[in-house]
Structure 1
């Protein structure tokens, strides 16, 4: 049996790395192909569509993205809306998570199940009601209207995630703060929030990605570039004629909007790992 162990271990290692390579190829190949297409000129795109590398790389598609439409304004809209959504969601969810995770009151379990149900509710089901509300409050074509609508799916997610984390924070921290005369809000903002930093970063980043990539609400609640975000702008790209498909510009724009997400993940990768593993082991 012992003589077979090295062979079994070698086979296991080979299978493991083969699976890793397949997963990496599956995840990274679409981005590579978008990058390759974005550096292929419009004239060469049809002839070199199936080539692995562009024969004459060019920045033309990237220049056309900003020259042909107000893409810079769309980027600003996405940054403001996604950031505003995350900040407001984290503030409200931190308050809610503290109450749901540390206080006992009647109906708490029912409330948690309602939050979970809302988080998996399809967007299309609330679209007409949200549209009526946004038009009534004159929030159509505004950052505020998009932020309000995006919180439909970011707030339940952040509340549920942070509540699970708050439950694992030792009660001794709160008791020490209460002994020193701190109020519940002071305990939350001065004692618990520093401990919650990894969870806040992880939850905020995931909520930011969801808000950054959201398409349905942005398409419904905007009609011009005043508040139109990049997913809608990319979806509305058109060629010089009705027979031209601007694949190069679409891929270039997709690369541009993906880069900020990659940068955020690289910058906060340690916090993300800590946030994903925090509370996994109780002790």
Structure 2
């Protein structure tokens, strides 16, 4: 039976060959756009219009990066994006840790229904939430503030972060918390002093996902903020294009600058994120 299975044509698509193929597809899908943007940022406008297309820049130049910072207040865009993403990530982690702990530890009625609703909410397209969120922010007089972005970003990231943390908290023996509470900790103290440190990979994973979602978001940032001094990076990058001109080398340079902080963040916490994703998938 094993010999027949080994000789099956589907054997080529299982095991190591399939994993290598999947890794190759992910590598090309993830790296090619980034490399193409980097090459474009090093080209001149004239080289970009050459036919046939030149893949690597023939005469690399950093002039586009200088223009990216001089044509628009790119540093201001970066600062706004960083602060909004950071504050929404902190708030998301605080709320999702408490919500996930309640779902994992407390004897809640309709726990399965709550988890199903969390999953259902996470599937809503953002465009369907745009008008209700806009009306809420206008009623609260929060338009053209960081808070108008921080609160929606927190709400949008909460379902995924909560589900990730639930799977981690369920894998922690409850005896550890009981021992901490016997030693004088409150339940919240046991959560933040015992459970959260043990589940650090899951917390880092949830935090990175929340930060990247907030850093990349465009639709809400464009709709809720018309103040030039509060524009985030995705909205600011669109300002480089003119009415009839699209300076792709300069836009690409701005994109590279915007990619670098997230790439550095992921590289620094790579091991924790990978271990968090794999452990969460096994426990879930």
1:104-143 equivalent positions in 2, closer than 5 A: 104-143=107-146
Q: 1:132 to 1:17 in 2, by over 3 A?
A: closer
Query: SS where residue 229 of structure 2 aligns?
Result: coil
SS at 1:140's partner residue? coil
> Is the Cα contact below 8 Å between 1:141 and 1:228 reproduced in 2?
no
Q: What is the correspondence of 1:172-191 to structure 2 with a 5 Å cutoff?
A: 172-191=175-194
Q: What does residue 97 of structure 1 align with?
A: 100
Distance 1:121 1:18, change over 3 A: closer
Distance across 2 between alignment mates of 1:58 and 1:102:
57
Q: Extract structure 1 runs of 4+ deviating beyond 3 A.
A: 12-23, 279-282
Q: Which residue is equivalent to 2:279? A: 278
1:248 & 1:89 partners in 2: Cα distance? 36
**What are the Cα deviations for residues 110-165 of structure 1, in whole angstroms up to 9, with x where unaligned?**
22222221111111222111111111222111111100111221112111211121
The whole-number CA distance in structure 2 between the counterparts of 1:193 and 1:223 is 39
CA displacement at 1:34 relative to structure 2? 0.6
Is 1:67–2:70 an aligned residue pair? yes
Of residues 175-184 and 272-281 in structure 1, the stretch that sits farther from structure 2 once superposed is: 272-281
The answer as to 2:244 corresponding to 1:250 is: no
Shift of 1:24: 2.3
TM-score relative to the length of structure 1: 0.89
Deviation at 1:64, TM superposition (A): 0.9
- Partner residue of 1:157? 160
Q: Residue 88 of structure 2 contacts residue 214 of structure 2 at CA under 8 Å; is this kept in 1?
A: yes
TM-score normalised by L of structure 2: 0.89
Asked if 1:262 corresponds to 2:263, the answer is yes
- Change in Cα spacing, 1:46 to 1:92, as seen in structure 2 (3 Å) is same
Inter-CA distance 21–191: structure 2 relative to 1 (3 Å threshold):
closer
Which shows bigger deviation, 75-84 or 159-168? Answer: 159-168
CA distance in structure 1 between the partners assigned to 2:80 and 2:178 by the alignment:
43
C-alpha distance 199-15 of structure 1, shift in aligned 2 (>3 A): closer
Equivalenced residue count is 274
CA-CA distance at 1:19 after TM superposition: 5.8
Distance 1:102 1:255, change over 3 A: same
Q: Where do 5+ consecutive residues of structure 2 fail to align?
A: none
Tell me the equivalent position of 2:58: 55
**Residue pair 1:40, 1:58 contacting (<8 A) in 2 also:** yes
CA 196–13 in structure 1, closer or farther in 2 if over 3 Å, else same: closer
Asked if the contact 1:62–1:249 (Cα under 8 Å) also holds between the matched residues in 2, the reply is yes
1:218 aligns with 2:221: yes
RMSD: 2.3
Give the C-alpha shift of residue 178 in structure 1: 2.3
- 1:237–1:223 Cα change, 3 Å: same
Give the secondary structure class of the aligned counterpart of 1:278.
helix
Does the 8 Å contact 1:48/1:54 carry over to 2?
A: no
Cα gap change, 1:243 to 1:265, in 2 (>3 Å): same
- Decide whether aligned partners of structure 1 residues 134 and 271 sit closer, same or farther in structure 2, where only a CA change above 3 A counts: same
Unaligned 5+ segments in structure 1 are none
